[in-house]
Chain A
Amino acid sequence: MAMSDESPTPAAAAVAPLTPVLTRRWASPRSWTIGTYEQLDGYTALKSVLGGPSPANPDQLIELMKNSGLRGRGGAGFPTGLKWSFLPQGDGKPHYLVVNADEGEPGTCKDIPLMMADPHSLIEGCIITSYAIRAPFCAIYVRGEAIHALRRLTVAVNEAKAKGYLGKNILGSGFDLEIVVHAGAGAYICGEETALLDSLEGRRGQPRLKPPFPAVAGLYACPTVVNNVETICSVPPIVLGGAEWYRSLGTEKSPGPKIYSLSGHVTRPGQYEAPMGTTLRQLIEMAGGMQGGIPLKFFTPGGSSTPIFTPEHLDVPLSFDDVAAAGSMLGTTALMCFNETVSVPWAVWKWLEFYKHESCGKCTPCREGTGWLVQILRRVVTGEGTMADLDTLADAASNIAGRSFCALGDAAATPILSSFKYFRSDFEDLVTGRTAPVVSTHDLVGAH
Chain B
Amino acid sequence: MTSTLPAATSPAPQDPPGLVVPEGHVKLTIDGVELTAPKGELLIRSAERIGTAIPRFCDHPLLEPVGACRQCLVEVEMGGRPMPKPQAACTQTVADGMVVRTQLTSPVAEKAQRSNLEFLLLNHPLDCPVCDKGGECPLQNQVMANGSGHSRMVDTKRTFTKPLAISTQILLDRERCVLCQRCTRFSDQIAGDRFIDLLERGSSQQIGIATDQPFQSYFSGNTIQICPVGALTSAAYRFRSRPFDLVSTPGVCEHCAGGCAIRVDWRRGEVTRRMAADDPQVNEEWNCDKGRFAFTYVGLDDRLTKPLVRNADGVLAEASWTEAMSAAAAGLATARDSAGVGVLTGGRLTVTDAYAYAKFARLALRTNDIDFRTRAGSAEEDTFLARHVVGNTPETGGVTYTDLEQAKTILLVGLEPEEEAGILFLRLRKSWRQHGSRIYSVGAVKTRGLTKLGGILVPAVPGAEPGVVAGLADSPVGEGLRAAHAVLLVGERAAEVPGLLTAAAQLAESTGARIAWVPRRAGDRGAVEAGALGSLLPGGRPVDGPAARAEVEKSWGASVPDRPGRNTGEILAAAAAGELAGLVVAGVSIEDLPDPTAAAKALAGVGFLVSLEIRRSAVTDLADVVFPVAASVEKDGAYRNWEGRDRPYDATITGKGTLADARVLDTLGVEMDVDLYTQTVKAATADLQRLGAFTGPRPTLAEVPDRPTRPAVEEPRGFLLATWRMNLDGGSLQDGEPYLAGTARAEVARISAVAAAALDLTDGSSVTVSTARGALTLPVEISPVADEVVWLPGRVAGASLASTIGAGHGDRVHLAAATTKGGS
Residues of A within 8 A of B (CB): 187, 189, 204, 206, 209, 356-365, 367-372, 375-376, 379, 388, 392, 395-396, 399, 402-405
Task: Decide yes or no whether B436 CB sits under 8 A from chain A.
Answer: no
Given contacts A209-B65, A364-B68, 14 further A-B contacts (CB under 8 A): A209-B91, A359-B201, A361-B202, A362-B68, A363-B67, A364-B179, A367-B119, A368-B119, A368-B122, A370-B203, A371-B122, A371-B123, A399-B116, A403-B115
Which 9 pairs, one residue from A and one from B, show the smallest C-beta to C-beta distance? A361-B205, A399-B115, A375-B155, A359-B202, A368-B119, A402-B85, A371-B203, A361-B201, A364-B119
Q: Which residues of B contact A187 (CB under 8 A)?
A: 201
Closest to A357 in B: B202
Interface pair A363/B70, CB less than 8 Å apart: yes
Closest to A395 in B: B115
Considering the complex, which residues of chain B in the window 462-489 have a beta carbon less than 8 Å from any beta carbon of chain A?
none
Q: In the complex, A198 Cα to B97 Cα: how many Å?
A: 34
Q: Which residues of B contact A395 (CB under 8 A)?
A: 115
Q: Which residues of A contact B243 (CB under 8 A)?
A: none
Interface pair B202/A364, CB less than 8 Å apart: no
* Known interface pairs A363-B70, A403-B112; A372-B201 also in contact (CB < 8 Å): no
Interface pair A403/B158, CB less than 8 Å apart: no
* Distance between A370 CB and nearest chain B CB, rounded to angstroms: 7
Q: Name the one of A189, A379, A399 contacting B112, with C-beta atoms under 8 angstroms.
A: A399
Q: Which residues of A contact B67 (CB under 8 A)?
A: 209, 363, 405
* Distance between B536 CB and nearest chain A CB, rounded to angstroms: 51
Q: In the complex, A371 Cα to B68 Cα: how many Å?
A: 17
Q: Name the one of B84, B91, B203 contacting A368, with C-beta atoms under 8 angstroms.
A: B203
Q: Which residues of A contact B116 (CB under 8 A)?
A: 364-365, 399, 403
11 A-B residue pairs with CB within 8 Å:
A356-B202, A356-B203, A359-B202, A362-B179, A363-B67, A365-B70, A365-B115, A368-B120, A403-B85, A404-B70, A405-B67
Considering the complex, which residues of chain B in the window 77-97 have a beta carbon less than 8 Å from any beta carbon of chain A?
84-86, 91
Task: Decide yes or no whether B111 CB sits under 8 A from chain A.
Answer: yes
Interface pair A363/B203, CB less than 8 Å apart: no
Considering the complex, which residues of chain B in the window 103-127 have a beta carbon less than 8 Å from any beta carbon of chain A?
111-112, 115-116, 118-120, 122-123
Task: Decide yes or no whether B786 CB sits under 8 A from chain A.
Answer: no
Interface pair B68/A363, CB less than 8 Å apart: yes
Q: Which residues of B contact A399 (CB under 8 A)?
A: 111-112, 115-116, 118-119
Interface pair B201/A364, CB less than 8 Å apart: no
Q: In the complex, A359 Cα to B153 Cα: how many Å?
A: 20
Task: Decide yes or no whether B329 CB sits under 8 A from chain A.
Answer: no
Closest to B200 in A: A361
Interface pair B202/A371, CB less than 8 Å apart: yes
Interface pair B153/A364, CB less than 8 Å apart: no
Write out, one digit per residue, whether chain B residues 203-244 have a CB within 8 A of any chain A CB (1) or not (0).
111000000000000000000000000000000000000000
Interface pair A361/B204, CB less than 8 Å apart: yes
Task: Decide yes or no whether B156 CB sits under 8 A from chain A.
Answer: yes
Interface pair B155/A376, CB less than 8 Å apart: yes
Task: Decide yes or no whether B73 CB sits under 8 A from chain A.
Answer: yes
Q: How many pairs of A and B residues are in contact by the CB < 8 Å rule?
A: 98
Considering the complex, which residues of chain B in the window 150-204 have a beta carbon less than 8 Å from any beta carbon of chain A?
152-153, 155-156, 158, 178-179, 197-198, 200-204
Q: Which residues of B contact A376 (CB under 8 A)?
A: 155
The main secondary structure of chain A at its interface with chain B is helix
Closest to B111 in A: A399
* Distance between B119 CB and nearest chain A CB, rounded to angstroms: 4
* Known interface pairs A209-B65, A371-B122, A403-B115; A364-B70 also in contact (CB < 8 Å): yes
* Distance between B68 CB and nearest chain A CB, rounded to angstroms: 5
Task: Decide yes or no whether B66 CB sits under 8 A from chain A.
Answer: yes
Interface pair A405/B68, CB less than 8 Å apart: yes
Q: In the complex, A395 Cα to B153 Cα: how many Å?
A: 13
Interface pair A372/B119, CB less than 8 Å apart: yes
Closest to A404 in B: B70
Q: In the complex, A362 Cα to B69 Cα: how many Å?
A: 8
Q: Which residues of B contact A379 (CB under 8 A)?
A: 155
Q: Which residues of B contact A189 (CB under 8 A)?
A: 201
Task: Decide yes or no whether B679 CB sits under 8 A from chain A.
Answer: no
Q: Which residues of B contact A360 (CB under 8 A)?
A: 201-202, 205
Q: Which residues of B contact A362 (CB under 8 A)?
A: 68, 179, 205
Q: Which residues of A contact B119 (CB under 8 A)?
A: 364-365, 367-369, 372, 399
Q: In the complex, A357 Cα to B526 Cα: how many Å?
A: 60
Q: In the complex, A402 Cα to B116 Cα: how many Å?
A: 12
Q: In the complex, A375 Cα to B85 Cα: how many Å?
A: 26
Interface pair A367/B179, CB less than 8 Å apart: yes
Interface pair A364/B73, CB less than 8 Å apart: no
* Distance between A269 CB and nearest chain B CB, rounded to angstroms: 30
* Known interface pairs A209-B65, A363-B69; A204-B198 also in contact (CB < 8 Å): yes
Interface pair B201/A403, CB less than 8 Å apart: no
* Distance between B169 CB and nearest chain A CB, rounded to angstroms: 25
Task: Decide yes or no whether B350 CB sits under 8 A from chain A.
Answer: no
Q: In the complex, A402 Cα to B156 Cα: how many Å?
A: 26
Q: In the complex, A255 Cα to B652 Cα: how many Å?
A: 75
Q: In the complex, A367 Cα to B70 Cα: how many Å?
A: 11
Q: Which residues of A contact B179 (CB under 8 A)?
A: 361-362, 364, 367
Q: Which residues of B contact A359 (CB under 8 A)?
A: 201-203
Task: Decide yes or no whether B46 CB sits under 8 A from chain A.
Answer: no
Q: In the complex, A410 Cα to B702 Cα: how many Å?
A: 73
Q: Which residues of B contact A396 (CB under 8 A)?
A: 115
Q: In the complex, A399 Cα to B68 Cα: how many Å?
A: 15
Task: Decide yes or no whether B770 CB sits under 8 A from chain A.
Answer: no
Q: Which residues of A contact B197 (CB under 8 A)?
A: 204
* Distance between B210 CB and nearest chain A CB, rounded to angstroms: 13
Interface pair A209/B120, CB less than 8 Å apart: no
Interface pair A371/B115, CB less than 8 Å apart: no
Q: Name the one of B69, B111, B158, B198 contacting A364, with C-beta atoms under 8 angstroms.
A: B69
* Known interface pairs A367-B205, A372-B119, A372-B155; A361-B66 also in contact (CB < 8 Å): no
* Distance between B522 CB and nearest chain A CB, rounded to angstroms: 40
Q: Which residues of B contact A370 (CB under 8 A)?
A: 202-203
Q: In the complex, A364 Cα to B229 Cα: how many Å?
A: 14
Closest to B66 in A: A209
Q: Which residues of B contact A206 (CB under 8 A)?
A: 198
Interface pair A364/B86, CB less than 8 Å apart: no
Task: Decide yes or no whether B71 CB sits under 8 A from chain A.
Answer: yes
Interface pair B70/A361, CB less than 8 Å apart: no
Q: In the complex, A259 Cα to B553 Cα: how many Å?
A: 97
Q: Which residues of A contact B158 (CB under 8 A)?
A: 371
Interface pair A364/B178, CB less than 8 Å apart: yes
Closest to B93 in A: A211
Residue of A367, A379, A402 with most chain B CB atoms under a 10 A cut-off: A367
Q: In the complex, A370 Cα to B84 Cα: how many Å?
A: 22
Closest to A205 in B: B201
Interface pair A402/B201, CB less than 8 Å apart: no
Q: Which residues of B contact A372 (CB under 8 A)?
A: 119, 122, 153, 155
* Known interface pairs A360-B202, A361-B202, A399-B115; A368-B68 also in contact (CB < 8 Å): no
Q: Which residues of A contact B204 (CB under 8 A)?
A: 361
Q: Which residues of A contact B201 (CB under 8 A)?
A: 187, 189, 358-361
Q: In the complex, A20 Cα to B209 Cα: how many Å?
A: 52
Interface pair A403/B70, CB less than 8 Å apart: yes
Q: Which residues of B contact A363 (CB under 8 A)?
A: 67-70
Q: In the complex, A368 Cα to B119 Cα: how many Å?
A: 6
* Distance between B159 CB and nearest chain A CB, rounded to angstroms: 13
Q: In the complex, A204 Cα to B119 Cα: how many Å?
A: 23
Closest to B116 in A: A364
Residue of B68, B85, B119, B205 with most chain A CB atoms under a 10 A cut-off: B119
